[in-house]
Amino acid sequence: MSGNPAYLILENGEIFEGKSFGAHGDVTGEIVFTTGMTGYLETLTDQSYCGQIVLQTFPLIGNYGVIPEDFESGSIGAKAYIVKYPCAAPSNFRSEGDLDSFLKERGIVGLYDIDTRSLTKIIRENGVMNGKITSSIPTEADRKEAHKYTVVHPIAAVSSREIVKAEDADNSKAERRIALMDFGAKRGIQNALLKRGCTVWTFPHDIIIEEIMKIEPNGIMLSNGPGDPADSDNKKIVETLKALIKKDIPIFGICMGHQLLALANGYKTAKLKFGHRGANQPVKDTRSGSVYITSQNHGYEVIAEDSSFINVNDGSCEGLDYGNSFSVQFHPEARGGPLDTGFLFDLFMERIDNHAAK
């Protein structure tokens, strides 16, 4: 690690002095924090962080190295990375490198040795805010640049560009055909479907319904993704979902997919103060009363009074059930995070099979 002086200036003018690791350079983005003690590789390669500077609240990051098998996509989603202590000498039999080298190879700026606890408290108390990491002493111009920053066209930036078919080599006779709409999909979603005997076609975010219907899907999977679900960029997606709803095909939405499906069904969304990011978010099933610990990464919520799941901490909507279709705000594929809600993929299979039997 270079250990050269580096700085973070927030849009409110507060400055943190630390040290540089990873790639060298200046970068501006929306700062968000995640509370996961592990899963930093899944966090870094989660495209839902597009346009954001990720702050890890757990102090030691990188201790088990870099493990490509754990990546959630082929590239890093975050614009920059802030940690307290990056581990320079990881120990793990699966590791193929260290965090500093990994960030350098991918061109991602890192900042460490700042008071991450203090920065997290600022975001919790004041809400998500923009910031700029720079190798020079910050100026008023840097603060203004941070203040003006916005994430532009995030889903288009991370969605697949072509239709891709995937099937498990040991399951060549899979009978369930799933159309996965990619808004920045984590690999864990496709893997969970393949594991349950599905053939999965991944479609770009702006696909037209006629192309989806060509595969005669038994189910529609809506992935996670970055940005504001109510952004004007997503109007076409919402219209496509409205058309799919009329086809009466079972739909399962996760995270951004949950929010976009809600918009297509007439609900509204709003920005959370600092979002839910980490692998320790408790949600309650409003029907059974059961509480599950979940993995989450989102900054917006659906406004609803008929939630199937709610967040135990703040009461926000964590799921909606439409009968044939349903969606959740959290990540049941558990990458990375607890396996508590993996049964929701089984529920999706049940609804597909029940619909086919009608």
Q: Which domain holds residue 238?
A: 155-356
What is the radius of gyration, based on Cα positions, of the chain?
Answer: 20
Same domain, 208 and 276: yes
Catalytic residue among 255, 258, 276, 318: 255
pLDDT digit string (tens) for 93-126?
Answer: 999 999 999 999 999 999 999 999 999 999 999 9
Same domain, 146 and 270: no
pLDDT digit string (tens) for 222-265?
Answer: 999 999 999 999 999 999 999 999 999 999 999 999 999 999 99
Active site annotation includes 24:
no
Active site annotation includes 333:
yes
Q: Is the pLDDT of residue 16 over 90?
A: yes
The CATH number of whichever domain residue 244 belongs to comes to 3.40.50.880
| Residue 346 CB-half CA count within 13 A | 5
Q: Is the pLDDT of residue 169 over 90?
A: no
Active site annotation includes 50:
no
What whole-number distance in Å separates Cα of residue 309 and Cα of residue 319? 5
Mean pLDDT of 288-307: 97
Q: Is the pLDDT of residue 173 over 70?
A: no
Mean pLDDT of 320-328: 97
Locate all alpha helices (DSSP H) within the chain, ordered by sequence. Answer: 40-44, 99-106, 116-126, 140-148, 154-158, 187-195, 209-213, 235-246, 256-264, 343-356
Count how many domains the chain has: 2
pLDDT given for residue 296 in this prediction: 95
Confidence of residue 356 (pLDDT cuts 50, 70, 90): confident
> How much is the mean pLDDT over the chain?
96
Same domain, 131 and 165: no
Amino acid at 225: G
pLDDT given for residue 358 in this prediction: 76
Q: Is the pLDDT of residue 62 over 80?
A: yes
Same domain, 138 and 75: yes
Q: Which of 151, 182, 201 is the last residue of a domain?
A: 151
Are the CB atoms for 53 and 133 separated by under 8 Å?
A: yes
